[in-house]
Amino acid sequence: MRTTPSRFTPFALALALAVPSLAAAQPDAGRRGGATAEERAERIEARMAERVEKLREELSLSDAQAARIARIFEESRAEMARLREAGRSPETRQAFRQLRWTTDDRIHEVLSAEQAEQLRQLRRDERLEHREARRGRRGMRGHHGHRGMRGERGPRGPRGERPELTPEQRQERRQARLDAMTEDLGLSAAQRAQIERVLTDAEAQRAEARAQHEPRTPEMREARRQIRWTVEDRIHEVLTPEQRDTLRQTRRERRAERMSHRRGRRGGRGAGPNGAGDVNGNANAR
């Protein structure tokens, strides 16, 4: 899984925490930037102190809470240094991810229920800003088989289906989804592990469906729909009632965001009686 290198904001704190990014944590990252080990350590220490102050400000932490979080950051930094010495490997990457999850759990133990919910909301706002920024950078380009802003489609397979993802790409996509759910819902390490098993099982079921059905057929669409419903049910069994409510609200917000984005892209084409982006006009045109 890739993480965003060296970008720290008040609202991305508890998941990045003492692990700025996998890229920054790897042994040769400092040499590429010309920084010594001491300089890297000083920068990390300064960032941690800044993050503690940001958390204090955003969540109204008490002095005792701020002190406990500072200790958690320091312990995480020491563990990060130990992992850095292990070098690059899939096991090390997984260890970095586990460190993030464990540190996040420890942070939530320090916060009150209201502070934890406030932190999750701040993270959602942060990710929304990131998505809007990425869309702006994407501009006119086609992107992974989807239309850009009146751009071309990305590569497709022989019958119009998207090319098969590699195991590494599937792992990356799964980890990105797990990270988003952890941020939004405050998943514990145990919940995250259970949901990862659900997503892994679903990938195997989709692969079996692709082997049995032609792409873009009613049978394939129905198989995918059934898998999606099964995943939904199994994930809800893992979550608390409050987490389920938060998940539904987050999905509603994202659907509204996607609809708004699509209407914006259609604007000016004149497809409907009120111009492109008119819901009835576009729906009837199809």
Examine the domain organization and report whether 6 and 87 are in the same domain.
yes
Q: Locate tokens 């920024």: which residue?
A: 133
Q: For the segment 78-135, what is each residue's pLDDT rounded down to a tens digit? A: 888 888 888 888 888 888 888 888 888 888 889 998 888 888 777 777 777 776 776 6
pLDDT at 195: 92
Over residues 42-60, the mean pLDDT reads 85
Clarify whether residues 100 and 197 are in a common domain.
Answer: no
211-231 pLDDT, tens per residue?
888 888 888 888 888 898 889
In the numeric block, which tokens belong to residue 189?
């390490």
Instruction: Round the average pLDDT of the chain to a whole number and report it.
Output: 73
**What confidence tier does 268 reach under pLDDT thresholds 50, 70, 90?**
low
What is residue 67's predicted lDDT score, i.e. its pLDDT?
92
User: Does residue 27 fall inside a structural domain?
Assistant: yes
* SS3 at position 201: helix
Under the banding of pLDDT at 50, 70 and 90, the label for residue 2 is very low
For residues 80 and 15, membership in a common domain is answered with yes
Let me know whether 103 and 180 are in one domain. Answer: no
Asked if 135 contacts 261 with a C-beta cutoff of 8 angstroms, the reply is: yes
Q: At residue 157, does pLDDT exceed 60?
A: no
Say whether both 30 and 102 belong to one domain: yes
Query: 39 pLDDT exceeds 50?
Result: yes
Q: Per-residue DSSP letters for 131-161?
A: HHHHHHHHTT--BTTB--SS-------TTSP
Domain that holds residue 19: 1-115
User: Would 158 be classed as within a structural domain?
Assistant: no
- Residue 183 covered by a domain: yes
How many helices (H) and strands (E) are present in the chain, helices listed first? Answer: 12, 0
Does the residue 279 lie in any domain?
Answer: no
The model's confidence at residue 138, banded by pLDDT at 50, 70 and 90, is low
- Residue 153 is predicted with a pLDDT of 45
Q: How many CA atoms lie within 13 A of 123 on its CB side?
A: 23
Please indicate, yes or no, if residue 97 is contained in any of the structural domains.
Answer: yes
Same domain for 2 and 109? yes
Query: Containing H/E element for 224?
Result: helix 218-238
- Residue 22 counted as domain residue: yes
The predicted model gives 168-182 an average pLDDT of 85
Does residue 17 share a domain with residue 80?
Answer: yes
Same domain, 1 and 64: yes
Q: Are residues 108 and 11 in the same domain?
A: yes
Q: Is 71 a domain residue?
A: yes
Q: Residue 246: what pLDDT?
A: 86
Q: How many domains does the chain have?
A: 2
Is residue 35 predicted with pLDDT exceeding 80? Answer: no
Predicted model pTM: 0.46
φ and ψ of 269, to 5 deg: -85, -20
Closest CA to 68 of 20, 102, 40, 109: 109
More confident residue, 71 or 250: 71
Q: What pLDDT is attached to residue 139?
A: 56
Do the domain assignments include residue 278?
no
Consecutive H or E run containing 32: helix 29-33
